[in-house]
Amino acid sequence: YRSSGTNVIATKTGTKYPNQKYIICGHYDDMPEGTLAPGADDNASGTCAVMEAARLLAPLSFDYTLIFIAFDEEELGLIGSRAYADSSYNRGDSIKGVLNFDMIAWDGNNDYKMQIYSNSASVNYSTIARYVFNIYQPQLDLVFTVSNMSGSDHYYFWQRGYNAFCGIEYNNDFNPYYHTVNDNFS
């Protein structure tokens, strides 16, 4: 989308409604700037979720098109996702919903809580997603919050009127290694 940023995109075209799309996304850039920024939780965890979803869903057929995106430059101000959302909006793309995952690996107290952020316009969409989580990941304790949380890649989809949510670790158990060289696998 520009010389300093590259979004990585894979598309699985829908069989019945190929022009109507669902996006599963996360960002692959990390912090802090410098020679060592492992970014295991922020946001290799979200990128891994996108890749695993693509792997698991690849052999299946779907009515709607699925787009798997690893956004670049989230840490610099949501630049990659904004470019994508703006381009989609300007083309008139029919994006039915966005599932954004950011920092989903940390659970310091093993309570299985995950925060789901939705704006008021996406509550119905996010509620359906919550039901799906309850079926396929019943051990997760989802904390549902309606707000205008602007700190991740779902935000500019909201600004363009698309349904979206952000799945992120629970605020009361936030990764203490966030944006440090210690955000590593161990």
pLDDT digits (tens, 9 = 90+) for 122-155: 999 999 999 999 999 999 999 999 999 999 999 9
Q: For the whole model, what pTM was predicted?
A: 0.96
The alpha carbon of 176 is separated from its chain's Cα centroid by a whole number of angstroms, namely 21
Quote the CA–CA distance of 22 and 95 in Å, as a whole number.
6
Quote the CA–CA distance of 74 and 32 in Å, as a whole number.
12
3-state secondary structure of 112: coil
Quote the CA–CA distance of 125 and 116 in Å, as a whole number.
12
The residue written with tokens 């995109």 in the block is: 9
Contact indicator for 69, 7 with CB cutoff of 8 Å? yes
Give the residue, 157 or 32, on which the prediction is more confident: 157
Q: Check pLDDT > 80 for residue 34.
A: no
| Segment 48-106, tens digit of pLDDT | 999 999 999 999 999 999 999 999 999 999 999 999 999 999 999 999 999 999 999 99
Helices (H) and strands (E) in the chain, counts: 4, 7
